[in-house]
Structure 1
Amino acid sequence: MADPLPRFRAAYGSSPQHLLVMIACFTLAGWVALRIADEATAGRMLLWFVGAVVAHDLILFPIYASADRVLRGALGRPGRAGTHGQSPAARHSMRGRAGQAPSRPSPLNHIRVPGLATGLLFLVYLPGILRQGRETYLAATGQNQHPYLARWLAISATLFLVGGVWYLVRRIRWRRVDGSAR
């Protein structure tokens, strides 16, 4: 009898383990949804969740995908030749092979990570940055919302500074290793 695994992969698109993990995830999500359904604010939570999904998929994803494409173009890195379709681990393992100099560090992720963190912090603290609900915030905390923008800018600058310093450290280490390999 023929092995059913290739037929399963062709029909499902992935391995049986993937299917089991997906079933477990959906079961957990369903259990959480049933627990939340008993809450008085379940309708508002569901509306917020659906709105967040729609806002992400229709607004945010195109924005940050376009920004990433512009960043890749500005850095002259449309993609690495010979690595298409490989996992990041496979690409990483190719760097340190004997007889090969390690590849030059890319600034791409040193810009992406602080940019993502900055964007996420902006979304989380947007009401405070825009000073929405001043009276409620003042009544609840006894403080005003004036420092939100300055603090967000300071945290953003720090994140980009740390990313830049880390890139410089990697670049210096690469030059030392590349210089000694010659």
Structure 2
Amino acid sequence: MRRPGFLPPVGSPLQLLLLACSFALAGYAGVRLLAGDWFEVALWFVGAALIHDLVLLPLYAAADRALVKAAGPRRGWVGYVRVPAALSLLLLLVWFPLISGQVATRYASATSLSADGFLARWLLVSAVLFGGSALLFVVRVRRATKQRSPAVH
């Protein structure tokens, strides 16, 4: 029996080939990454894992708990805040050195481009994410209320 979805059935030759290829690619990337200063790379990975698990995870779990508590019994809108907030925070995490301006001179010397505007672009992307999510929420609420109300002919 074939299961729905994009992946072939578990244990099929195609899935095993894809899994082997992904492990080979990860191994190649690991060898290339660790070819330089392996201790610094390993220290960075361990530090990132510790900072995530000991600092960031409790912070965003507490923020999510507060959001759910504030929603009360009407929790339908919580997902419309979670998704843009997560994407916005992920962009902030990835681009923080440029958004904060900490590496502006190094970025300019390496790329001959100005580092100005990263904060404004991040704020704009965040506003679009939250605005799109709010628009989607409004559209879905209107559709749901139209379906509940009886049609008058």
Q: TM-score range, shorter-chain basis?
A: 0.7 to 0.9
Would you say the 8 A contact 2:34–2:41 is kept in 1? Answer: no
Query: 1:13-24 alignment to 2 at 5 Å?
Result: none
Q: Matches of 2:144 and 2:120 in 1, distance apart? A: 36
Query: 1:3-14 alignment to 2 at 5 Å?
Result: none
Moved segments of 4+, more than 6 Å = none
Unaligned runs of 5+ in 1: 1-16, 18-23, 78-103
TM-score (norm 1): 0.64
Return the match for 1:108 from 68, 71, 78: 78
Unaligned runs of 5+ in 2: 1-10, 12-18
* Cα offset, 1:39, TM superposition: 1.1
Task: Tell me: CA distance 1:171–1:144, structure 2 relative to 1, closer, same or farther (3 Å).
Answer: same
Would you say the 8 A contact 1:110–1:163 is kept in 2? Answer: yes
- Paired positions, count: 133
Q: Matches of 2:39 and 2:30 in 1, distance apart? A: 12
Query: 1:21-100 alignment to 2 at 5 Å?
Result: 28=23, 31=27, 35-36=31-32, 39-77=35-73
User: Residue 132 in 1 paired to residue 118 in 2?
Assistant: no
* Cα offset, 1:32, TM superposition: 5.5
State the percentage of identical aligned residues.
37
Would you say the 8 A contact 1:128–1:148 is kept in 2? Answer: yes
Question: RMSD across aligned C-alpha pairs, in angstroms?
Answer: 2.8
* Cα offset, 1:36, TM superposition: 4.3
